[in-house]
Structure 1
Amino acid sequence: MKKLLFSLLILASLGSMAQVKLGLKLAPVVTANRAKNDAKTVENDGSKMKFSIGLIADKPLSETYFLSSGLIYLPKRMAFQNADGTIEDEYKLQYLQIPVTLKLFTNEIAPDLKGYLQVGSALEIMVFNEDLDTNSTIEKFTPIDIPVILGAGIEFRAGINTTLFGGFSYQRGLVNAVNEAAVAEVEGLQLRSTVFSIDLGVKF
């Protein structure tokens, strides 16, 4: 009986996995941040283009609703300056992102072509930051971020098992990246990420 139950569980898992579409995503991203402090003396210091890459997995919940997740490498730039120009800092951070989003697909807008809207969030785990020395404004970074993700795009079925997709997404970080600042002039410093992404990839 136990062997039968175990076999049924294996078959059910394989059947569930058979419905999951796995893919690869490459995304040029524009990364910036929203900066402020208690005295309102700091401001953002520009943005920078970087590249993100990772694996994605889409599981159908119905014909038009898909649960989307994956494992994405996402580099970010945190930069700020104060009003009088005496402090101007830039930090390079790297995260592993685990998104959990819902994709809502349209009917076909052309043969084998559908549009989609995407909404959800993610858990981001910091895997690298620049070595902080005694001259750094920031002594310690928060090890995680949780962004809100909004996106839209199109998918084209290029074969029986191959789907190409392209779109864009906006990711707004909710967690302050600064765990501890070392300079009194920026007391209460808060840096929250903003990422604009061009999402390109293929699913199999």
Structure 2
Amino acid sequence: MYRSKGAEISYNYTRSNGDGSTENISGKDDLTIQYIEIPLTLKLFTNEVAPGTVAYFQVGGSLNTKVAAQVNDKKVIDSEKVIKRFNIFEADVLLGGGAEFQMGQSTKLFAGLTYHRGLTDIDDFYEKRLGDKNISIKNNSVSLDFGVKF
């Protein structure tokens, strides 16, 4: 699957320097990252809940690799490609559910809702810039799933 993820990050941070002085750092960034995702899930179906309709539950994970990135609508900042600042791989846990509707002899429509919870840190830039190893950025998302099986 191809998925675009993004966020707006605002920070106002006071960093202590080694000489006893402090430095205030503030800013705001708009992140946009595109991924190719490979879901590894188990999909469990119920018996018919209505004529021609079954419910399903989905659980598993997703392994993702970045294909493009932008920060503040720019692909290059200070002569460096923005895509290099994000980690190559990302992993999610995936939970979902929905319904499948029989439309004909071999045609089914499905609709569902899926939650993706990020497990890995996608960016080390803010840890380095602000000098704090406790900063972690993880992608979380909710998606609406629609499709046709034939």
Q: Normalized against structure 2, the TM-score is what?
A: 0.79
Q: What residue identity is the alignment partner of 2:112?
A: G
Q: Matches of 1:132 and 1:191 in 2, distance apart?
A: 21
In structure 2, relative to structure 1, the CA distance for the partners of 1:97 and 1:87 (3 Å cut) is: same
Aligned pair partner of 1:120 in 60, 73, 90: 60
The number of residue pairs the alignment matches comes to 132
Q: What residue identity is the alignment partner of 1:128?
A: A
Q: Matches of 2:125 and 2:39 in 1, distance apart?
A: 27
Unpaired runs of 5+ residues, structure 2, are: 14-24
Q: Determine if the alignment matches structure 1 residue 168 to structure 2 residue 113.
A: yes
Aligned pair partner of 1:97 in 12, 37, 43: 37
Match of 1:153 in 2: 98
Identity %: 34
Does structure 2 retain, via aligned residues, the 8 Å contact 1:78–1:191?
A: no
Deviations 1:1-51 (A, max 9, x none): xxxxxxxxxxxxxxxxxxxxxxxxxxxxxxxxxxxxxxxxxxxxxxxxxxx
Does structure 2 retain, via aligned residues, the 8 Å contact 1:100–1:121?
A: yes
Question: What do you get for the CA RMSD once the two structures are aligned?
Answer: 2.3
Q: Normalized against structure 1, the TM-score is what?
A: 0.59
Match of 1:195 in 2: 141
Q: What residue identity is the alignment partner of 2:113?
A: F
* 2:130 aligned counterpart, secondary structure: helix
Match of 1:144 in 2: 89
Deviations 1:102-131 (A, max 9, x none): 111110011110001110001111111122
Q: What residue identity is the alignment partner of 1:156?
A: F
Q: Matches of 1:100 and 1:78 in 2, distance apart?
A: 25
If asked which structure has higher relative contact order (CA below 8 Å, sep 6+), I would say 1
Q: Matches of 2:142 and 2:127 in 1, distance apart?
A: 30
Q: Determine if the alignment matches structure 1 residue 73 to structure 2 residue 2.
A: yes
In structure 2, relative to structure 1, the CA distance for the partners of 1:98 and 1:86 (3 Å cut) is: same
Q: Matches of 2:141 and 2:69 in 1, distance apart?
A: 17
* 1:190 aligned counterpart, secondary structure: coil
* 2:26 aligned counterpart, secondary structure: coil
CA drift of 1:186 comes to 5.7
Unpaired runs of 5+ residues, structure 1, are: 1-71
Deviations 1:34-79 (A, max 9, x none): xxxxxxxxxxxxxxxxxxxxxxxxxxxxxxxxxxxxxx11000033
Moved over 4 A (4+): none
Deviations 1:139-179 (A, max 9, x none): 61001111000001000011112110001010001110114
